Amino acid sequence: MAPHAMNPWVAVAYLVAGVCFILALRGLSSPATSRRGNRYGMFGMGIAVVTTLVTHEIASLPEILGAIAIGGGIGFVIARRIQMTAMPQLVAAFHSLVGLAAVLVAAAAFLNPAAFGILDDSGAILAVSRVEMALGSAIGALTFSGSVIAFAKLNGNMSGTPILLPGRHAINAAILLALVFFIYGFFDSQSPVDFWLVTGLAFLIGFLLIVPIGGADMPVVVSMLNSYSGWAAAAMGFTLHNTAMIVTGALVGSSGAILSYIMCKAMNRSFVSVIAGGFGAEAAAGSGEAKEQRPWKRGSAEDAAFLMKEAESVIIIPGYGMAVAQAQHVLREMADQLKKHGVGVKYAIHPVAGRMPGHMNVLLAEANVPYDEVFELEDINGEFAQADVAFIIGANDVVNPAAKTDKSSPIYGMPVFDVDKAKTIFFIKRSMGGQGYAGVDNDVFYMDQTMMLLADAKKMVEDINKALAE
């Protein structure tokens, strides 16, 4: 499988592919340019795949092309059928496949190193290749098992609350030390026992790291697993002597890590604490104390329609509840009706709204919400004081003023929307019982200017639309 390394056109092709991947990441940083970014990524991957097929000695090209066709067909069908609300668990599932692929490549290289061109003159695997192989298998196995758990939590197959195993930090530290020990053992002796122990322990640590992480931190987990999958691919790129894999993996790994760090800052979470497996989860898990009974006002669809029709400005704050109810399309219809009445409508998106980075942006884009109406937290937060209506649909923690006032709260310090400054607040949620991912009661429920609209988000917005039409 040795590539024709002396061919300069190979380096040029991989360079062009790398530039396309960089442009893809740049395009994906904004909803307005995300489609163009996707096209760059597809074009770059096409160049990389064709170059690899042409410049490597492949045993059976028809089998490789057949596998590509089958995999591409499956991906196309899934992409066409998947609901946007299920996108986070789909991303987690794809991450698991990347991790598993890295493990399989590492295992293939270990079992048949001659085919990979990684043997020295004595017939032993090159020392540097042993390190790359062990790291690729370890990171890939961790990514696979961690992504499977993330998928189960996001898909509802497992509880989204933190599962706190006794002594988990000591167990995790012991397993990580054992991983380092056996990686060195494999490097030193090329022992099959060491290789398979590294792989098995990495599968285990991936499970143990993600289980204690609760639903509130799932956006960080998804982006961090994305980072892990990139580093696994980069490690396998070294084993395969494939420049494109190294560049692509490094781009994905570094961008995922940076995104995770940004999101941790947006949630006032410690980056190290989250990736180390739920340090501080005890506080979040134990914060769901019994609420005192406080007076609150219940509103109706007619109330919301009347007051919003008379308003000059309405700011909509969507959250995961909108995603669950699949209310993005009727929400856009509501905004269109309000604009016909001369009302200014804007959407406020928190960096960690939903269950993966950009979740709300994807849903609003699917509903054809104009990009120039969608604003990030830092760009719109100052406008709530002049807004007539703050319309909260399925969000909770990202509008909770406890993040600014209650130092004992697990969300204290987290940047939140200043909805409490709006003249009127409409808050759609299923019932007064839910407390959001963080398990913290929300003072916005009980404010004088707040009307609670207790119903399924889609049904409530449909009723508001009917009232606006009348």
Residue 40 has pLDDT above 70, yes or no: yes
What is residue 49's predicted lDDT score, i.e. its pLDDT?
Answer: 87
Range of lowest pLDDT (79-83, 282-286, 395-399, 417-421): 282-286
Query: Is this structure's pTM higher than 0.95?
Result: no
- Nearest CA to 156 among 89, 93, 207? 89
Kindly state the DSSP code that residue 421 receives in the 8-state scheme. Answer: G
Query: What pLDDT, in 10s, does the model give residues 343-375?
Result: 999 999 998 787 777 788 888 988 999 988 999
DSSP 91-136: HHHHHHHHHHHHHHHHHHHHH-HHHHT-B-TTSSBPHHHHHHHHHH
Q: Give how far Cα 83 sits from Cα of 224, 236, 328, 334, Å.
A: 23, 32, 12, 21
Task: Please give the mean pLDDT across all residues of the chain.
Answer: 85
Which top CATH class is 301-469?
alpha beta
Query: What pLDDT, in 10s, does the model give residues 242-282?
Result: 888 888 889 888 888 888 887 777 666 677 766 665 544 44
Q: How far apart are CA 131 and CA 231, in angstroms?
A: 14
Buried b (16+ CB within 10 A) or exposed e, 290-325: eeeeeeeeebebebbbebbbebebbbbbbbbbbbbb
Tell me which of 204 and 114 has the higher pLDDT.
204
Residue 5 has pLDDT above 50, yes or no: no
Collapsed DSSP state (helix, strand, coil) of residue 454: strand
What is residue 362's predicted lDDT score, i.e. its pLDDT?
Answer: 83
Strands (E), 293-421: 313-318, 344-349, 374-376, 389-393
High-pLDDT (> 90) share of the chain, %: 36
The answer to whether 337 and 465 are in contact (CB under 8 A) is yes
Q: How far apart are CA 100 and CA 143, in angstroms?
A: 8
Residue 283 has pLDDT above 50, yes or no: no
What is residue 215's predicted lDDT score, i.e. its pLDDT?
Answer: 63
Q: How big is the chain, counted in residues? A: 470
Residue 403 has pLDDT above 70, yes or no: yes
pLDDT band, residue 3 (cuts 50/70/90): very low
Q: How far apart are CA 355 and CA 339, in angstroms?
A: 30
* The pair of three-digit structure tokens given for residue 359, joined into one six-digit string: 């979740």
> Which amino acid, one-letter code, is at 227?
S
**Rounded-to-5 percentages of helix, strand, coil across the chain:** 65, 5, 30
The answer to whether 469 and 337 are in contact (CB under 8 A) is yes
What is residue 437's predicted lDDT score, i.e. its pLDDT?
Answer: 59
Collapsed DSSP state (helix, strand, coil) of residue 352: coil
Residue 447 has pLDDT above 60, yes or no: yes
Q: How far apart are CA 298 and CA 316, in angstroms?
A: 19
Residue 414 has pLDDT above 70, yes or no: yes
Query: What pLDDT, in 10s, does the model give residues 47-67?
Result: 988 888 887 766 677 888 888
Instruction: Kindly state the greatest CA–CA separation across the chain.
Output: 85
Q: How far apart are CA 233 and CA 137, in angstroms?
A: 10
Residue 285 has pLDDT above 50, yes or no: no
Nearest 5 degrees, angle CA 362-CA 358-CA 266? Answer: 155
- What is the number of H-type helices and E-type strands within the chain? 19, 6
Task: Give the residue numbers marked as catalytic.
Answer: 397
Collapsed DSSP state (helix, strand, coil) of residue 425: strand
Query: What pLDDT, in 10s, does the model give residues 291-319?
Result: 557 789 999 999 999 999 999 999 999 99
Residue 439 has pLDDT above 70, yes or no: no
Dihedral sign computed on CA atoms, order 4, 7, 13, 15: positive
What is residue 438's predicted lDDT score, i.e. its pLDDT?
Answer: 57
What is residue 307's predicted lDDT score, i.e. its pLDDT?
Answer: 94
Q: Taking the CB of residue 86, how many other CB atoms lie within 10 A of it?
A: 14
Q: Give how far Cα 5 sits from Cα of 8, 51, 182, 308, Å.
A: 8, 12, 33, 66
**265 CB-side CA count, 13 A:** 5
- Nearest CA to 144 among 186, 93, 182? 93
Beta-sheet pairing, 374-376 with 313-318 = unpaired
